[in-house]
Structure 1
Amino acid sequence: MKSWRGSGRRKASLNQPLLPGLFGNLGTTSSRVKKSHPSSPAEAALHLARSRLSLVLLGFSLFFIIASARLTFLAIDNDPHEPSVIQAASGYAPIIARADILDRNGSLLATSLPTVMLMANTRNIIDAKEAAHKLASALPDLDEEKLSHNFARLKRYIVLKRHLTPRQYYAINKMGIAGLEFVPDESRIYPAGNVTAHVLGYTDIDNIGIAGLEKTLNEKLMENPEPVTTTLDIRLQTILHRELQKAIEELEALGGAGLIMDVHTGEILSLVSLPDFDPQKAGKAKDKELFNQATLGVYEMGSTFKIFNTAMALDSGLIHVAEKIDTLRTIEIGGKKIRDLHAFTHWLNLAEIFVESSNIGSARIAEKLGTEKQKSFLQSLGLTKKPHLEIPEIGGPLVPSDPHWGKTATMTISFGHGIAVSALQIVAATAPLINDGYQVQPTLIKTATPPKKGKRLVKKRTSDQMRALMRLAVKYGTAKKAEVPGYLVGGKTGTADKLLGKKYSKTERISSFLGVFPTTAPRYIVFALLDNPKGTAKTYGHATAGWTAAPVVGKIVSQIGPLLNLPPTELDVMEAIERRLTRPLGRQVVDGFKLNSEVNDYASVESNSTH
């Protein structure tokens, strides 16, 4: 344990208790005594008498120590529950230092600081009432009447207060109350506070992890003094937390979640859930603050699911990117109507269905491919089973059972209704669709060597085409407000009506945007989700993802790009790169995109509803 005080010379206090490892050898002094020889027979006799008297006193002292030890042993032996408490109260019980937790760059995220625990041996308290009165004056949060009662009635060791401050320690020690003992203790500290709360979790008063990484890695942190390095980047974590919090406040949303993940390694550089809590005061947090919306919460994601529907179609080879599909006629199935909020005047090709977010077109694609292909594809991406991550707060998806996964479910799942997944799942499932087709395993723990390349899930050509489509969705489609000068951002918006009871609400929604950058050689996915945002004057009353979640990701990308050694690209260079990026779609498809002449922003008319 480290001392509270520096290494400079200070005067030792004779009244200070000896706490090995915490305060050093305080309370001990040494002095040189000059030896002298008797100068006369009288002095020699006096010196001899003193020596004999010292021997007698030493004998009585030894007798007293042995008798006291025996009485103490008998007293302890009569109560089988006290020995461990008394051992802890002796001041010499070993304190197990909990290892530090660091971010990927070595910044401190969690550490333990030495503190003191105050205990009372009630058998040694002389005046219970006086002792209680004095203690209550130094520790106002203690109940004086209850203290007095316990001191008088209980004949055992009791814990009075954990983690005394230095000021409290010195004040109580100065009182000189018989029966009080100070025991070395340890307190867990989180320098970033709320910002990392849902990843790190927290410990109880005994420094035992009970949430987040603190719980999952509890044994390792207790037994191994070496720090644990996470994949988090506290700089990115702070930016994501700040921008998400600002959006929640401006749009009066109920909460939100966000992730930033490396699409090649699965390393999570940032994970935020709001509202959050102070890990130093987790016991006072509300349930909704403790709930991890990024990993434990599952939601119907709306049109972000069109990423998987489109990739499935392209990878199957059954539907070509330029193939025209009927998007004019409303679909009626299972007593419900599938429609597009923005009416189209012509049949759309596969690329247009994705970029302009057509529910009708997505449903017809899923209908053509069939239920079994949809099931198999979503299973391969890990969207139908509980994901793995190194924290305990993980939610499993809500998927239709086999008897209920029929034609209707197949159509609605194509545009993100009828299946609920977590933010973690949708990010992990998208990575293979943009990283040349390889599976990745999300992780929060940094390893010395990069993970091996996962198995191939989709063809490289499918991944190339999906990157191009996601870029076009930002340039021409519903996600234009995610555009960042100098960065070729791609992505897909999603606005899902919330299911309230057995009906979908027309006024409450989940809005999200999954962003990818740079789309030419994707490195990162940035995902933002808002729970029931409200339209404002700034969004022209719209609360869809193109107006709410997409701008959040754009702001984040503009700030984290330079930090990740991805400087912005010159405009003329970007145009050339973009032409090469969209080449897998074919020139005819790319040239076919035109800006809507009536509404200057598709973001305002994103189509994600089913009624």
Structure 2
Amino acid sequence: MTTAASEPTSFLQIRRSQPRVGAGSISSGAVRSRVYLAMAAFAAVYLLIGGRLVLLAQMDETPAAEFISAQDAVAASRPDLVDRNGEILATDIRTASVYAEPRKIVDVEEVLEGLGSVFPELNSDTMRQRLSSRAGFIWLKREISPAQQQAIHRLGLPGIGFLWEKQRFYPGGPTAGHIVGSVNIDNQGLAGMEKHVDDAWLSDLRSIGFASDRPMEPVRLAVDLRVQHVVRDELAKAMERYQAIAAVGIVLDAHTGEVVAMSSLPDYDPNNREEALDKDKLNRATGGVFEMGSVFKTFTTAMALDSGRVSMRDSFDATRPIRAGGRTISDFHGKNRILSVPEIFIYSSNIGTAKMMLATGIDEQQAFLKKLGMTERLPTELPENATPLLPKRWGELAAITVSFGHGISVTPMQTAVAAAALVNGGRLIPPTFLPRDEQTANSLATRVISEEASRAMRYLFRLNVLSGSGKRAEVPGYLVGGKTGTAEKVENGRYVSNKRRNSFLSAFPMDDPRYVVLVVLDEPKPEREGLAATAGLNTAPVTGAIIRRAAPMLGVLPQFGEGAETIEISY
């Protein structure tokens, strides 16, 4: 007899031996399928999330091409521009610019509202469209102030960032604006020496990536900032005193051709790029051409004396006007008598000057002015160099009017450069805005008149200040010499008697001229009622004021005492 205790059977064996039956039963294969399906679903979700994270990581680590291009552009450096004494004329400073990466912006309206609180002009439909795009990079505002940068930063807007870039800064403002020039918002030179530096070598460095965040040696200029300030200051005071509409001043080293100072008013502040676009603020010294009037008699006289056909002992009849080409050539306050060559110069006789030219020859006149560089564009480092306007037909009438500065228009710089050749011993030296020593200048110089003719011109320059129309340019101790010029302006093809352009072309010290100074005033008015508005009454004293202040800065010592007025001259 068998009992339950003698034949034990496990509960598990009984459960396995009895298969489940009925409508609710599920096969083991179905269970495994559901497990695998769930695992696949979870894997897909994880893969999707991982892929998105990888994509976002790549977006952060790989900036848009536009961003890289902008980053390279704003990192571009420029060398400092300094004057001959090392004073900074132009330098780079760091400034922030704000940009957006539209594909990273979460809420466009929030960004627009935030930006508009600092820059109201950015809260616009156009900006909404730009921020709603899938662009990788867009500029929002360039060269913002530190306060604006902090205000944007505090907003914490996703997709909005800052790039630190180089901004050009000109400590002297407009003082030497036309010399240093200006740059665009990407720090590329547009005008003046800034443009010259780009054209000479900086743009090439940029193209190969050697101008980004690299210290550069300063570029030294020939200008003396102290003298530059003096010239600009005196011109500004003269414009106010004589109610002139424009003015030009140039100080040129007669031995080296260096431009020590050059100012053209009205001028502009290169820190404000918009001012550079004002047509009234152009660089008249090199970029404008004008009839220079009677200062041109300097060149006619030098030509006549150098030709050997006229000497200092000669005289010419100035009692009656000259008739040529249906026009009458007369003198302003003429002496109506025979005049010697020195008298023709100091009395500024149109008749006597024309007769000296005719005695020399019309062909010789053209050749001489070409030799002086007055008939073609004068190259300098500045890109602003105008081309002279010459007579269409160089006949007798044209030659006569050109002899006293009418019918030909040149730049003031051309006038100063040619005058330097007449007083420095007869050597024409190309002008430069960069430092140059005398040895280099001598290698570039070309002879245009003889040393004897140059000595005669120095004598005439000094004589005109002592006894002629240039008396008000005299500065005790500095042996100033020069020639006045008063040219009527042309309107609608006719000369207008009540609108003049006055000039004074000078040099000092006349026993061994070191510097040429040219001053031009456009449409000066009488200083007070009852006075005239001739060059002797306005540009001559302005020139004297410049020399009085600038000469000590330039190291020119005054000469006093017996023999100070001696100038070598032979007849």
The TM-score, its normalising length taken from structure 2, stands at 0.85
Distance 1:327 1:260, change over 3 A: same
Distance 1:415 1:157, change over 3 A: same
- Is 1:532 matched with 2:523? yes
Which digits, 9 at most, give the CA deviation of each residue in 1:331-361, with x for residues without a partner? 1111211111212142101111011110110
Q: Which has the larger radius of gyration?
A: 2
Find the residue that maps to 1:294 and give its secondary structure: helix
Alpha-carbon shift at residue 213 of structure 1 (Å): 1.2
Counterpart residue number, 1:84: 65
Counterpart residue number, 1:489: 480
Contact 1:261–1:524 (8 Å) recurs in 2: yes
Instruction: Work out which of the residue numbers 420, 433, 439 in structure 1 matches 2:409.
Output: 420
Distance 1:394 1:94, change over 3 A: closer
Amino acid at match of 1:339: S
Contact 1:382–1:425 (8 Å) recurs in 2: yes
1:69-80 residue pairs with structure 2 within 5 A?
A: 69=57
Counterpart residue number, 1:549: 539
1:21-100 residue pairs with structure 2 within 5 A?
A: 66-69=54-57, 83-88=64-69, 95-100=75-80
Contact 1:436–1:459 (8 Å) recurs in 2: yes
Alpha-carbon shift at residue 217 of structure 1 (Å): 1.5
Instruction: Work out which of the residue numbers 102, 127, 139 in structure 1 matches 2:119.
Output: 139
Counterpart residue number, 2:6: none
Counterpart residue number, 1:577: 564
Counterpart residue number, 1:432: 421
Instruction: Work out which of the residue numbers 301, 314, 337 in structure 2 matches 1:323.
Output: 314
Alpha-carbon shift at residue 432 of structure 1 (Å): 1.3
- Of 374-383 and 132-141, the range deviating more from structure 2: 132-141
Distance 1:134 1:449, change over 3 A: farther
Alpha-carbon shift at residue 459 of structure 1 (Å): 0.9
Question: What is the CA–CA distance in structure 2 between the aligned matches of 1:261 and 1:62, rounded to whole Å?
Answer: 73
Contact 2:97–2:142 (8 Å) recurs in 1: yes
Instruction: Work out which of the residue numbers 474, 495, 510 in structure 2 matches 1:504.
Output: 495
- Is 1:213 matched with 2:193? yes
Distance 1:448 1:116, change over 3 A: farther
Find the residue that maps to 1:280 and give its secondary structure: coil
Instruction: Work out which of the residue numbers 87, 111, 115 in structure 1 matches 2:91.
Output: 111
Alpha-carbon shift at residue 230 of structure 1 (Å): 0.6
Counterpart residue number, 2:511: 520
Q: Taking every aligned residue pair, what percent have the same amino acid on both sides? A: 39
Contact 1:121–1:156 (8 Å) recurs in 2: yes
Alpha-carbon shift at residue 461 of structure 1 (Å): 0.8
Contact 2:316–2:339 (8 Å) recurs in 1: yes
Find the residue that maps to 1:373 and give its secondary structure: helix
- Of 525-534 and 170-179, the range deviating more from structure 2: 170-179
Question: What is the CA–CA distance in structure 1 between the aligned matches of 2:382 and 2:540, rounded to whole Å?
Answer: 28
Instruction: Work out which of the residue numbers 269, 273, 276 in structure 1 matches 2:267.
Output: 276
Amino acid at match of 2:498: T
Counterpart residue number, 1:408: 397
Question: What is the CA–CA distance in structure 2 between the aligned matches of 1:533 and 1:128, rounded to whole Å?
Answer: 59
Alpha-carbon shift at residue 249 of structure 1 (Å): 1.4
Alpha-carbon shift at residue 248 of structure 1 (Å): 1.0
Counterpart residue number, 1:193: 173
- CA-based RMSD of the aligned residues comes to 2.4
Contact 1:88–1:183 (8 Å) recurs in 2: no
Contact 2:256–2:436 (8 Å) recurs in 1: no
Instruction: Work out which of the residue numbers 103, 117, 120 in structure 1 matches 2:100.
Output: 120
Contact 2:98–2:163 (8 Å) recurs in 1: yes
Amino acid at match of 1:496: A
Find the residue that maps to 1:311 and give its secondary structure: helix
Which digits, 9 at most, give the CA deviation of each residue in 1:147-195, with x for residues without a partner? 3343235644211011122222222112111011211211111111111
Alpha-carbon shift at residue 449 of structure 1 (Å): 7.7
Distance 1:448 1:418, change over 3 A: closer
Contact 1:198–1:290 (8 Å) recurs in 2: no
Amino acid at match of 2:184: D
- Is 1:204 matched with 2:189? no
Contact 1:198–1:212 (8 Å) recurs in 2: yes
Contact 2:182–2:194 (8 Å) recurs in 1: yes
Counterpart residue number, 1:342: 333
Question: What is the CA–CA distance in structure 2 between the aligned matches of 1:251 and 1:449, rounded to whole Å?
Answer: 38
Find the residue that maps to 1:351 and give its secondary structure: helix
Alpha-carbon shift at residue 568 of structure 1 (Å): 2.0
Contact 1:511–1:529 (8 Å) recurs in 2: yes
Distance 1:357 1:94, change over 3 A: closer
Alpha-carbon shift at residue 141 of structure 1 (Å): 4.5
- Is 1:351 matched with 2:331? no
Contact 1:303–1:493 (8 Å) recurs in 2: yes
Amino acid at match of 1:446: P
Aligned residues: 513
Distance 1:150 1:380, change over 3 A: same
Which 5+ residue runs of structure 2 have no aligned equivalent? Answer: 1-46, 206-210
Counterpart residue number, 1:295: 286
Distance 1:101 1:206, change over 3 A: same
Contact 2:74–2:166 (8 Å) recurs in 1: no
Question: What is the CA–CA distance in structure 2 between the aligned matches of 1:309 and 1:423, rounded to whole Å?
Answer: 17
The TM-score, its normalising length taken from structure 1, stands at 0.80
Amino acid at match of 1:320: S
Which 5+ residue runs of structure 1 have no aligned equivalent? Answer: 1-58, 77-81, 587-611
Question: What is the CA–CA distance in structure 2 between the aligned matches of 1:491 and 1:64, rounded to whole Å?
Answer: 82
Question: What is the CA–CA distance in structure 2 between the aligned matches of 1:459 and 1:238, rounded to whole Å?
Answer: 35
Counterpart residue number, 2:35: none
Alpha-carbon shift at residue 68 of structure 1 (Å): 3.1
Counterpart residue number, 1:363: 354
Find the residue that maps to 1:242 and give its secondary structure: helix
Question: What is the CA–CA distance in structure 2 between the aligned matches of 1:415 and 1:252, rounded to whole Å?
Answer: 26
Amino acid at match of 1:546: G
- Is 1:226 matched with 2:214? no
Counterpart residue number, 1:590: none
Contact 1:100–1:221 (8 Å) recurs in 2: no
Contact 1:275–1:288 (8 Å) recurs in 2: no
Counterpart residue number, 2:554: 564
- Is 1:181 matched with 2:161? yes
Which digits, 9 at most, give the CA deviation of each residue in 1:397-421, with x for residues without a partner? 11124xx111111111111011111
Contact 2:287–2:384 (8 Å) recurs in 1: yes
